[in-house]
Amino acid sequence: MTKMTNNNPLLSVRGLHASAGDLEILNGVDLEVNAGEVHAIMGPNGSGKSTLANVLAGRPDYTVTAGQAIYDGEDLLALEPEIRARMGVFLAFQYPVELPGVRAWQFLKAGVDARRQHHGEEELSARDFDRLLREKVQMVEIDPELVRRAVNEGFSGGEKKRNEILQMAVLEPRLALLDETDSGLDIDALRIVSDGVNKLRSQDNATVLVTHYQRMLNYIRPDKVHVLLDGRIVRSGGPELALELEEKGYDWIREAASYE
C-alpha cells in the first residue's frame, strides 16, 4: 500500500542546484507537485528542463550542489536511481536508448519484479506478466510486433516515444516525468500517448510534462504550467500560460525575469 498523501505534496523541490562537470545548469529550482496533478514545464532549448527531470530520476552525470527534493516523504536525492524507480518515479526519456539483444518482455518484467520485491511482493509469474503486458499493449495501442523486438532497436522516433508510454503503463508510476514525449509524434500518436497519460491519471499519482508545444496540452489539461529559464522556474501559472507562450515566445518572460 502506498502512503496517503495527507496534504503533503507528492514531490517538493526546494532551491535545487545541479551541475555537469564545471557547468552549472540548475540554479535554484522550486517546484511542488501534489498527487492527482499534472504539471507542464516549458522553456527554451538548453534552459535545463531535461536536466531537472534527469536529476530527479537520478542520472549519475549530474551533481546536486544545493537544495533538496522530497518525494513521498523521502529524501529523493539520496537514493540510487533504481530505488527511486521502485518507489514509483518514472522518467520517459527525451532520447530513449536502444537496447540491442534485450527483449522487451524480459526488460519490463525485470522492472516490474524489482518494484514488487521492493514492496515485499512476489515476482509475477510468466503467465501473469504476459497478461499484464498484453493488457497494457492494448491500452496504449502500440503495435504488438514492436514488443517482440529488442527494446527500441531500429525503432522510429515516434515508436520509441510510444514505447516509453508502454513502459510507463506497465510500471504504473506514482510520479511520471515525461521529457518531450510529444516531440516527433504524429497526430494519431499524440492522441494515443495523451490518452495513455489520461487513463493512467489518478488521485494518487502525478505527471510532469516537459514540452515545447501547446498541442499535447489540448489533450492533457495541466493544472499548472511553469517556465524554466536559465535553470530556474521564473513563472508559474494555469493552462492559459502555455497559450500565452505559444503566442508570444519567451522574450517577454526573459525581460520580466531580468527585472526581478
CA distance 198 to 205: 11
Nearest in space to 113 (alpha carbons), one of 100, 96, 132: 132
From 2-10, 19-27, 70-78, 151-159, give the range in contact with ligand ATP by CB under 6 A: 19-27
Within 79-200, residue ranges assigned H as helices are 81-86, 104-118, 126-139, 144-148, 157-171, 187-200
Enumerate residues 6+ apart whose C-beta is below 8 A from 113: 123, 124
Give the sheet arrangement for strand 63-71, strand by strand. 23-33, 11-20, 63-71, 74-75
Residues between 31 and 60 with contacts to Mg ion, criterion CB under 5 A: 50
Name the grid cell of 85. 524507480
Residue 238 CA, chain-centre distance (Å), reads: 19
* Cβ proximity to ligand ATP, 133 vs 241, nearer residue: 241
Q: Does 104 engage in binding with other proteins (CB under 8 A)? A: no
Site string for other proteins, 140-159 (x = CB under 8 A): ----------x---------
* Cβ proximity to other proteins, 61 vs 188, nearer residue: 61
Q: Does 132 engage in binding with other proteins (CB under 8 A)? A: no
Q: Does 25 engage in binding with other proteins (CB under 8 A)? A: no
Site string for Mg ion, 83-122 (x = CB under 5 A): -----------x----------------------------
CA distance 182 to 161: 8
Report the residue closest to Mg ion, judged by CB: 50
* Cβ proximity to Mg ion, 1 vs 23, nearer residue: 23
**Contact status, residue 96 vs residue 160, Cβ threshold 8 Å:** yes
The binder of ligand ATP chosen from 12, 47, 152, 207 (CB under 6 A)? 47
Name the grid cell of 214. 501547446
Q: Does 135 engage in binding with ligand ATP (CB under 6 A)? A: no
The binder of ligand ATP chosen from 4, 15, 61, 135 (CB under 6 A)? 61
* Cβ proximity to ligand ATP, 59 vs 201, nearer residue: 59
69 to each of 26, 59, 82, 105, how far by Cα in Å? 13, 14, 16, 32
Q: Which residues bind ligand ATP (CB under 6 A)?
A: 20-21, 23, 25, 43, 45-51, 61, 94
Q: Which residues bind Mg ion (CB under 5 A)?
A: 50, 94
